[in-house]
Amino acid sequence: MTDLPTPTAARLARPSWRDTRLLVGVLIVLASVALGAGVVARADDRTPVYAARAPLVPGQRLTADDLSRVDVQLGSQQPHYLSAGGGLAPDRFVVRPVAAGELVPVGAVGGRDQVGVQPLVLSVDAGAAAALRVGSTVDVYVNRVDPGDEGGESGRAAGAGAGGGFLGPELTLEAVPVSSLPRAGGGLGGGAAGDRAVQVMAPTARIKEVIAAVDLGARITVVPVAGSAVRVEQ
């Protein structure tokens, strides 16, 4: 019986850098990596802008502590918000209210000459003030004394409870922001035992009017604007 020939296993040759198939494979891998990196880079087109850490009120000097940097995708809206790329410019002031956590619009920040408000501390009923917090927006009503009331200061106080002594509340400051709630001291508007100081940022042109009315015995009432941020009791 004739022996059949035994096949010999061929050894695989180690590929070399001159192997065309190896070079093509490496090029494909590199191209895939570059393409993937390009797609990710184009997808992550976020821009650093500033957001308010706490409510910002008109007249407030803006500092880095008031802001936090966030990276967001704004697209064509990017120029409308305060960029965090180059840091905060010096001597910047808030000229428009900005809620806590809100991106800061470019138009909400300006120079000192653009600030048309000043802090005004009012003395109001403590019950009404209890619902307020910094950043609340309120309407300020002034209840002027009736000049025809001859009962004097005590007569006005007694008549107020019966609908006399005062002319009735008038809306004097509309939608002004609360900038502080001082714990100590009083303010304009009576200063009775049950009153509480509330600081608002009032238009400079109207402050003289409020002071004059209070000096003549007027009472001050603040009412939160509908939709305004208020303190919620837990």
How would DSSP label each residue in 199-218? Answer: EEEEEHHHHHHHHHHHHTT-
Distances (CA, A) of 17 to 26, 30, 34, 130, 169: 10, 16, 22, 79, 92
Given this model, what pLDDT does residue 159 score?
Answer: 43
Given this model, what pLDDT does residue 17 score?
Answer: 56
Given this model, what pLDDT does residue 160 score?
Answer: 46
Given this model, what pLDDT does residue 6 score?
Answer: 61
**Domains in the chain: boundaries:** 47-114, 117-224
pLDDT digits 0-9 by tens, 47-79:
899 999 999 999 999 999 999 999 998 888 888
Strand partners, 119: 201
Given this model, what pLDDT does residue 61 score?
Answer: 92
Strands 92-94 and 61-62: antiparallel
The SS3 call for residue 100 is: coil
d(C-alpha 143, C-alpha 147), whole Å: 12
Second-level CATH architecture of 47-114: Alpha-Beta Complex (3.90)
Residues of the chain with pLDDT under 50: 152, 154-163, 234
Given this model, what pLDDT does residue 167 score?
Answer: 92
| pTM for the structure as a whole | 0.65
